[in-house]
Structure 1
Amino acid sequence: MPLNMLVARHLSRRPPPASLGTLVKACTASSAHVTASFSPGATSATKAGRIIAPPTSLASSASIPSRAFAASASLKENYDHILVERCFPENSDVVGGGVGVITLHRPKALNALCDALFEDLIHAARVLDEDDDIGCIVITGSGKAFAAGADISEMSKREFANAYKTNMFSQWADITKMSKPIIAAVNGFALGGGCELAMMCDIILAGSKAQFGQPEINLGVIPGAGGTQRLVRAIGKSKAMEMVLTGNRINAQEAMDAGLVSRVIDSELLLEEAVKMGYGIAEKGGVAVRMCKEAVNAAEEMTLSEGLRFERRMFHSLFATRDQKEGMSAFLEKRKPNFTNE
């Protein structure tokens, strides 16, 4: 009996987080009998033709299917502190139409951002950013937290000389250097470094139980990974000043009202909706998507006149792409465009 979809292989053998439970349901009733395994030594052709049994974390929402794939040599077989999945829409042959999902996975520590976790995160994000099958990336957290801040047990041991010489937290900003859009699906606590990580992403979606805050003042320090800079740009000086001086949290609705997040979604549907949004972005022309991201981000660094000039130049340059020709032809012909990211 034919399957109506294939499921992606989970790239980590660690136990899957409960927060991913709404991502993908069992394929169909018939697919419940599939118990195929993955052989790391198999050839690409063998891997591509094999149904990969879904991980537990992908076994509860038919609305976002995934497909089997040959594991990239660049993605690690196992990450210590994250889970990685490549998801694809059902019955779609869109070039670059997949979504990479990275789950911060230190649930006992509320996904506290230790150095090793960030190394895993940056590595996986870079690989997905260079993956031609992936058009968008989603970052979320396992358990009841997105990330409850930096790892204080790790940070408390540091002295000024070490923090200064290593330019502590500077590597975190590598997330902002990815060319593909990144969606933060904030499922719970996003405090301190967790809030700062969310703000490094391009779109923040908040689960109904999400909480945001910069409580560093309670530890005798200030935000060190963008909390005093990106937060001001997101919600304005007065509200940002209140948050960093008091250490108080705001809930999901308050975050949306302030302009920190774009949408509040029921927590049970958050990851599902984030991946759906990712699919919608990934089906657009990839060159234009990257230029949109670059132009919008440039608005924070440029004057209005500089930004307008930059925008026009990028707009003009897109007339050298096949996607521009295809997009406008499809509009005039009243059909869906078939973008090739060229």
Structure 2
Amino acid sequence: MSEPLVTLDRRDDGVALVQLRNGKVNSLSTEVLRQLEVLAGQLTDDPPGAVVVAGNDRIFAAGADISEFAGPDEARAIGARFLSALEAVAAIPRVTIAAVAGPALGGGCELALACDFRLAADTARFGQPEILLGIIPGGGGTQRLARLVGPARAKDLVLSGRQVRADDALAIGLVDEVVPADALLARSLDLAATYARGPLAAQALAKQAIDRGLDTDLATGLRLEQDLFVEVFATDDARIGVASFLENGPGQATFTGR
């Protein structure tokens, strides 16, 4: 049996590390995307405390496997695979952190965008270079990017195909933190572990409220928030957190994640 192209390591601190392992450039072939979707499904069915998605220490992911490109029929199949895989990553009911070292281009950038947070090494580069091939992004690049950095900046990146370095990506809100390359994975895992010690049920409901709310109008989003606000009070963590606050003040609770 061949080695997996995407691996999953569930750590003792509650963090799940998902790593792309498809050669030197970590191209997102349809098989890589299939394996990623399977693992994302496992992390949804049996959630850890938090998730880190990483490539190797030189590259996050260079994008789709261009050798699979052909005509409209192939594009439809590839686009469907990207959509289902990255939607599965986005749907994981835990904090997800993309640890980006080196290039995150095309589909690689879109994978990072599907995560909740993006930590970048100072060697990282981001871009949607599809336009340079005469095509457009097909894995969420025109949608998630515009929602994150605004339509004008998204159009600049998508229509020019240019790449931005980590410090520029931080300045426009594409990434959340930049660290030295040799500290990236450790910092990402440490941050994930912090979330993994938190009230996981409340985190999942808050993430759902934000993500689903962005897909609708404000009034509908506010009603959704109210429903989930009520739902969270049925969790053990809410009971523990409120009781701890009344007895010991804020920030002292030890949550069970239920």
TM-score normalised to structure 1 length? 0.70
Q: Once the 2 structures are TM-superposed, how far is the Cα of residue 138 of structure 1 from its aligned partner? A: 0.6
What SS does the corresponding residue of 1:299 show, helix, strand or coil? helix
Question: For the residues of structure 2 that align with 1:306 and 1:150, how far apart are their CA atoms?
Answer: 36
Decide which of 86, 91, 99 is 2:10's aligned counterpart.
86
- Cα deviation 1:254-311 (Å, max 9, x = unaligned): 1111111111111111111111111111111221010011011123212122212211
Picking from 222, 225, 240, the partner of 1:311 is 225
- Counterpart of 1:251 (choices 157, 165, 168) is 165
d(CA) in 2 for partners of 1:106, 1:169: 16
- Whole-Å separation in 2 of the counterparts to 1:246 and 1:210: 19
Q: How does 1:1-342 map to 2 (within 5 A)?
A: 79-89=3-13, 98-108=14-24, 110-131=25-46, 134-155=48-69, 158-164=70-76, 167-172=80-85, 173-334=87-248, 336-342=252-258
State the 1:246 CA deviation.
1.1
Q: Highest Rg: 1 or 2?
A: 1
Is the 1:105–1:142 Cα contact (8 Å) retained in structure 2? yes
Inter-partner Cα distance in structure 1 for 2:81 and 2:88: 13
Task: Say if 1:198 and 1:204, in contact at 8 Å, map to a contact too.
Answer: yes
Instruction: Note the C-alpha offset of 1:143.
Output: 3.8
Per-residue CA deviation, residues 27-80 of structure 1 (Å, 9 max, x unaligned), is xxxxxxxxxxxxxxxxxxxxxxxxxxxxxxxxxxxxxxxxxxxxxxxxxx9752
Where in structure 1 are there 5+ consecutive unaligned residues?
1-76, 90-97
Percent identical: 37
User: Quick check: 117-126 or 257-266, which moved more?
Assistant: 117-126
1:127, 1:121 → 2: CA distance? 10
Q: Does the aligned pair in 2 maintain the 1:107–1:143 contact within 8 Å? A: no
Letter of the 2:39 counterpart: A
Alpha-carbon distance change, 179 to 78 in structure 1, aligned in 2, over 3 angstroms: farther
- Listed as ranges, the gaps of 5+ residues in structure 2 are none
**Does the residue aligned with 1:146 lie in a helix, a strand or coil?**
coil
Following TM superposition, by how much is the alpha carbon of 1:168 offset from its aligned partner in structure 2, in angstroms?
5.0
| Change in 2 beyond 3 A, CA 1:86/1:188 | same
2:98 alignment partner, SS class: strand
1:107–1:142 contact (8 Å) kept in structure 2: no
Q: Which has the higher contact order (CA 8 A, sep 6+)?
A: 2
Cα contact 2:40–2:88 (8 A) shared by 1:
no
Contact 1:211 1:251 in 2 (8 A): yes
CA distance in 1, matches of 2:83, 2:12: 33
SS of equivalent to 1:84: strand
- Equivalent-residue separation in structure 1 for 2:50 and 2:41 (angstroms): 12
Classify the secondary structure of the residue corresponding to 2:204. Answer: helix
- SS of residue in 1 equivalent to 2:93: coil
Where does residue 27 of structure 1 map in the other structure?
none
Partners of 2:77 and 2:149 lie apart in 1 by 32
Give the whole-Å Cα distance in 2 for the aligned partners of 1:288 and 1:229: 27
